[in-house]
Chains A and B, each alone.
Chain A
Amino acid sequence: MADPLMSLRDLRVEFDTRHGRVTALSGISLDVMPGETLGIVGESGCGKSITALAMMGLVPNPPGHVTGGQILFQGEDITRAKPRRLRRLRGREIAMIFQEPMTSLNPVFTVGDQIAEAILLHQDVSRAQAEKQVVDLLATVGIPEPARRAKAYPHELSGGMRQRVMIAMAISCRPKLLIADEPTTALDVTVQAQIFDLMRDIQREFGVAIVLITHDMGAIAEMTDRVAVMYAGRIIEQGTSDQILDNPLHPYTRGLIGCIPVLGREAGDAASLPPLAEIPGIVPPLHLLGDGCAFAERCALADDYCRAVRPPLEEKGHPVACHHAGQGVPA
């Protein structure tokens, strides 16, 4: 097998908060292979965005700290990289698009200038060449009248157009890794589909690896090769998209897919569920995490052992962290 493009090895990230130091990521390990699409799913607050930012060396500090583990990009540990080296990776080798297209572009510069800025930063081209590239990129991401739109300010474009601009900026230097943090959450359903189509086209054309963060299981099914499921700062199940979708082993994953034994919901009403399944209860706040399984309070299969001992991530067909993996009502 080829070497992974990006590997997280037992990554720990902690935050200073009112409640003292809390652990947002407690030992995340995952690999992204060149050219593949890895999905990361989980509810809000599970640590998906922090994982993404860590891959760019952008964990907000203060209050965040990477306190353990490694972040290997093509074998190079970027937790040890100098700021200068990190800046050469960002935008050029690893690019990112965000959840909020409305606020992710600077309101006082034209979108063309903002894309050109990335090009001029990383490529040895003239201003005029960069501007020409900008127009080509805008055409690539499906923006009509690209030459005119390059001169537009963000507020003159719709949310979908702005996200296309963000994608154009992200691919401007042909990165090897594109991290998309809930890129469609803020958009209309029809626009969501267009953005996913665009991302697929871009992957085909540029061969870029994509990390797609989402809580939309439909997007996972359509877009990803492999999936990591996160809960409360840990990966609790990992596998190929087929394994996760067809044979989910963790009660939380099953709940996300909308098929099962979770407190307060009957099995069998999966058909009526929206793509984003609602699991009763909430993700426990980080400072209240105990020694046992973080999902126990919401899990229909939970017993005293679950509440006392945290289940490790173990191979049970594919890696899963649950004492009763695969038990209960079958999928």
Chain B
Amino acid sequence: MRTLLFRSLIATPLSQPVPKPAADALSAALGAQLDRAAQRRLGRSVAIRALDAGSCNGCELELNALGNAFYDLERFGLRFVASPRHADVLLVTGPVTANMREALERTYQAMPGPKWVVAAGACAIDGGIFAGSYAVHGGAGAVLPVDLRLPGCPPRPLELLQGLLALMEPSSASRPSARAWSDLRLG
């Protein structure tokens, strides 16, 4: 174990730079979906409660990937929390199934205000390929007010990250502090 830890110490970091210009355009487009007050309020720390409303588990795989050394989402002040009572943002994946609707609503109700809802993935946006099934209500918007939609099946981790950054201060990707941080990490 010691060798492994030592190797990690001298290895170059894997973390990706903060999403760059192309990403800025996307962030801006995503940011435009949000009202600026939301961004001001959330500032630079966002607690996210992820909720699978009936996904195929593909979206969860990419959400989990956000925690790996490449994306390392906590360096941006983004954090997944266990309790809805600690959350600012409810991040919904999957179509809302009839069997999950109540759990979704109750999770949302358990969150303190102000709160925001992000629909991640094609299914959470409008039910995706499962829309129209007897067992599916549609996207998260069929049940809750959605503030931000992140397309993809599943969205790539980088796309998720860009989207979540848009929740924070406007054009957070070009914020001096964020840039300095990423430069530091890249050595």
A, B from the same assembly: no
